[in-house]
Structure 1
Amino acid sequence: MITKATLENVSQLNTLINSAYRGESSKKGWTTEANILEGLRTNEIELSETILNPKNTILKFTENNQIIGCVLLVEKEQQLYLGMLTVSPELQNSGVGKKLLQQAALHALELGLPRIVMTVISVRDELIAWYKRHGYEDTGVREPFPASAVHIPITEEPLEFIVLEKRIG
């Protein structure tokens, strides 16, 4: 079941997102960033602030009272920004991510937004290919990767974001 996340879900979301993106647990799935970044992907304060912002929606995918997937959707001018698409590492390739993408498209339509955009780290070839199979196209736009105390690159390869877009409706 896909529903809107609330502040009550912050702790579970934080655990899920960090387990899927970073650390040893993330290596069970194919979407890990553990080989290119150290540090946490997010924290409870950031997630709480995100949920409290009326321009943001975090959709959660719940099964047996456990949050097994989520996605951040942000209203920005004439587009919906999609970020932090997360599926529990043990359940990747089970269709949860695809269902969350479909729900994101419905959310964009409900808001009257004609396109969804996202940024993906340039070295994530397999993930970029997955998004392209789901209708996203490379816009050719690149953005600098914001290395910080939270996002610590551990790869020699320079990192940047590739902007992907999907037209809706």
Structure 2
Amino acid sequence: MYTSLQIAPATPADIPALVTLVNSAYRGEESRQGWTTEADLLEGIRTDADSLHEMLQTPAVTILKCTDSAEQLLGCVYLKQKGDTLYLGMLSVKPGLQTQGIGKQLLQAGETYARHQHCRRVTMTVISVRHELIAWYERRGYQLTGATEPFPTSPKFGIPNQVLTFVVMEKALS
């Protein structure tokens, strides 16, 4: 488990490294080194530089980046405040480093950020067939709400190999 991690807001200068990290964590052969791969579910990329730039220009959005002592990017998470709710998504960890506690620390950092923004809950969407990922979030206090959302039809999110939907998960903050 990494103990000397730095977690801080990403800036536009981080976009090239973020594109590489996020796409490697979810899609393509490199993603198969980790357990968060969507390579069998979706073709194409997970994000691009233009999308990340747009995210970082949105006032309610923060992307937290996680680096090691050598400032190597190890992970990131997207956070968007909507009133007293924080949406958390794009939790990404470098595939070869998954299962070492980086994702858990990023999730906790997102929840801490939410508390500092006076949010009462954190929500997220997870692809419904990602049972192992849903279980991981449940072990960290997230619950299925019963709500679902359609998977985006735009190819900029990837091209599904099957019909996909999202389940909505939520965690109340104390």
Q: Look up the match of 1:161.
A: 166
Which residues of structure 2 form unaligned runs of 5+?
1-5
Residue identity (%): 52
- Match of 1:123, SS state, is coil
Offset, 1:164: 0.2
Select which of 149, 152, 168 maps to 2:159: 152
Q: What RMSD over aligned residues (CA atoms) do the two structures have, in Å?
A: 0.8
- Hey, which bits of structure 1, 4+ residues long, moved more than 6 A? none
Residue-by-residue CA offset, 1:44-68 (whole Å, 9 max, x unaligned): 0110111111100000000121110
Instruction: Give 1:148 shift.
Output: 2.4
The residue number in structure 2 matching 1:103 is 109
| Residue of structure 2 in register with 1:37 after alignment | 42
Task: Specify the code of the residue in structure 2 equivalent to 1:82.
Answer: L
Task: Show the counterpart of 1:60.
Answer: 65
Kindly indicate whether residue 26 of structure 2 is the aligned counterpart of residue 26 of structure 1: no
Superposed CA deviations along residues 6-57 of structure 1, whole A, max 9, x for unmatched, are: 0010000000000000000000000000000011100001101111111000
- Match in the other structure for 2:145: 139
TM-score (structure 1 length as normaliser): 0.97
Q: Quick one: which amino acid aligns to residue 42 of structure 1?
A: T
Q: Any unmatched runs of 5+ in structure 1?
A: none
User: Is the aligned partner of 1:5 residue 2:3?
Assistant: no
Match of 1:54, SS state, is coil
Quote the Cα distance in structure 2 between the aligned partners of 1:104 and 1:142. Answer: 22
Corresponding residue pairs, total = 167
Q: Secondary structure at the match of 2:166?
A: strand
